[in-house]
Structure 1
Amino acid sequence: MHMNIDCGLRPETPKETSYSQKVWLTAAIVVLIIAVLLIARVVFNVLLMALAGCLIATYFHGLGDLLERKTGLKRRICMFISIVGSISLLVTLLWFMGAKIQVQVAELSNSLPGTINTVKDKLGETPIGQKVLGYFSDNNSKQLFDTARQFFSTSFGALGNLYIILFLGIFFTAEPSLYKNGILLLVPPDRKEVAKRIMDRISFSLKGWIKGTLLAVALITIMLAIGLSVIGIPVALILALIAGMLKIIPNFGSMVAMIPGVLLALTVSTNTAIGVALLYIVSQTIVSNIITPVIQKKMISIPPALTLISQLIMAALSGALGIILAVPLLSMVIIFTDELYVKKINKAQLIPASELDK
């Protein structure tokens, strides 16, 4: 005889989560994801500033190495001369050229609105020009000016952080082994040789980019300053400096730099505008396709389409600073991919199948 004894103990069923609890849980997850993405974007911007500091340190070290080879002085003295001499030279140039630059900036600011109106009047005289003016309707022009304002405000924000980047570069220059050894401490012992090789390749690549960029900036500035002065374009020095500074941005910089020069030339005559446009195109072609590749031979050859894609991505993420650092950052990504993935794949393909089966 079996007796059913019910002691009142029954297995507890899990409580069902209410609808409101599910809503609050989903909202908390969404807020957490947004917070993580915002923090990641801020951290990414800080890492970009650190990369800019590394580029400045690479420049100081390259100039210090050159002084050490040429003079035979101690390395610390050469590095001190490299840092102090570079900053002093920049301040001296700005001091002597500051008055003229200020006058030409004021002249350009005052003449540019009238120049735009003159260009509109001349474009309105031709059917093609009327179509161009129709494209730049109120909505399109407003969107264009908003984009330009956002770009330049981001640029000036990046310039506002220039002193932080400069100090980072000086710190990296003073004690490079401290930071290099600190990075190597985070790498497993069996991968330290690979890490050293990656850092050496990145150093060579960045040096090539810096050499090519500095030479391109100097040559473009000099060529355009002389050419625009000969043609008789006003504020030639400012236009040349703008083109030189924008040269650090591949693809976009050259096109943007040409706009104010051609607009001012149109106030003189159409033939003058064509001559100025040809001057910009020829100078950019000579520097970009002949001189810069010779200097940047230590840098990885990057396809133009890949460069453009990286610039668009970096512009969306970090604005002007991201566009400037897109090429060296892409070069670093390619080096990491080659060392950590491509070489492994190639090495595995060289191993016979009989060895893999063992």
Structure 2
Amino acid sequence: MSEPLPPSPIELHGQAKSALRDALIWISIAAAFFLVWQLASALLLILAGFVFAAGLQGGERLLGRVWKVRRMIRLVVVVLVFIVALVGFVYFAGTQLTQEFAQLRSTLAQQGERLSRLAEEYGVSSKVAEGDPFDAIKAQLGGSLGRIASFIGGAAGALGSLVLIITFGIFVAVDPRLYERGVEWLTPQDKRASLRDTVEAMGAMLRRWVAGRVVLMVFEGMLIFIGLSLVGAPLALLLGLVAGLFAFIPNLGAIASGALIIAIGFSAGTTTGLWSIGVYLVVQVADNFINPLIEKRAVDLAPAVVLAAQLLFGVLFGILGVTLADPIVALVKVALQRRNAEMQGK
């Protein structure tokens, strides 16, 4: 009878085996973080789709309070209203900006003629050496075309992302339970009830957050429109709509809309520009009082935590990161609260 073989030299025992298991766990965690980092843009677009779906569901539930019909009919109405509003805004903004650009071009041409006549009166020739302007234009044309092409490419990418978010959100809003069941199927059976409660709590939080942002958008857009109309600024309605849309983006949206309001205000004169600055500052002061109340009621997050998350996600992921920083932090908070409640229940 042959003797038993000795232990394999590559077999791990005791502390070595435990250390290898711990190392594999940490390596798996690091790999998961690296994968999330590489897929951050796609994951943010997916999260934006969920946020849009939550907004559609919130609108459908709100409509259901006054219109007792099938859920799918209400959802179709909400989607159609959103699409009509989006197309109407794009058409209205394009028309208004085209008219304003034509007026601005005419004003600049008149001012150029006045400067030319004034220069000739003082004996300064308003004509430059022949060929110089065209040479300068040709020298800059290549770079300008490159920047235009880059801008068009960026705009096309943004439009494609918007279409993806809307499409994804509609699919989720039509049958959210389908996707919830898929996630539950990948979860151990003893954890499915807890997961279902957590997902429902997250969905309710997202609906409250979207509702709060919509209220803030309407509030800021109405104030901007009324204020600019009172001071006689051009494009008051368009600027109100733009400011309302930009209000969905925390902090950066207010800066972008403010720059646009001030620029267009000064195009109508120094006095109108100064009044436009005043309107913008008044609206921002009012917004600083209203926004914390809405955010606290919607997601109940500490302002410093929200601001830190916006800065962090803005540096890492750009505008989309700033926009989704609040719901990301709120989702993490809901998950931790549900986990804590589950642990205490045990």
Regarding TM over 0.5, the answer is yes
1:81 has 2:77 as partner: yes
CA-CA distance at 1:37 after TM superposition: 7.6
Matched-pair contact (CA < 8 Å) for 1:52–1:325: yes
What runs of 5+ residues in structure 1 fail to find an aligned partner? Answer: 1-33, 113-149, 349-358
Q: Distance in 1 between matches of 2:254 and 2:151?
A: 16
Identity %: 28
Deviation string for 1:294-341 (max 9, x for gaps)? 5x565222222222221222223322211111111111111122222x
Letter in 1 for 2:299: I
Matched-pair contact (CA < 8 Å) for 1:205–1:298: no
CA-CA distance at 1:159 after TM superposition: 3.7
CA-CA distance at 1:39 after TM superposition: 5.2
Deviation string for 1:258-289 (max 9, x for gaps)? 23433555577776555433322322333452
Letter in 2 for 1:81: V
In structure 2, relative to structure 1, the CA distance for the partners of 1:194 and 1:279 (3 Å cut) is same
Matched-pair contact (CA < 8 Å) for 1:205–1:331: yes
- 1:13 maps to none
CA-CA distance at 1:180 after TM superposition: 0.8
CA-CA distance at 1:41 after TM superposition: 3.2
What runs of 5+ residues in structure 2 fail to find an aligned partner? Answer: 1-29, 109-149
Q: Distance in 1 between matches of 2:226 and 2:234?
A: 12
Q: Distance in 2 between matches of 1:325 and 1:92?
A: 26
Letter in 2 for 1:214: V
Q: Distance in 1 between matches of 2:155 and 2:329?
A: 21
After superposition, residues 1-358 of structure 1 pair within 5 angstroms as 40-96=36-92, 98-104=94-100, 157-265=157-265, 273-290=273-290, 293-294=293-294, 299-340=298-339, 342-343=340-341
Q: Distance in 1 between matches of 2:345 and 2:151?
A: 45
Local SS of the residue matching 1:316? helix
Letter in 2 for 1:301: D
Q: TM-score, normalised by structure 1?
A: 0.65
For this pair of structures, how many residues does the alignment match?
A: 276
Q: Distance in 2 between matches of 1:68 and 1:313?
A: 38
CA-CA distance at 1:237 after TM superposition: 3.8
Local SS of the residue matching 2:310? helix
Matched-pair contact (CA < 8 Å) for 1:217–1:244: yes
Local SS of the residue matching 1:233? coil
Local SS of the residue matching 1:161? helix
* CA RMSD between the two structures: 3.6
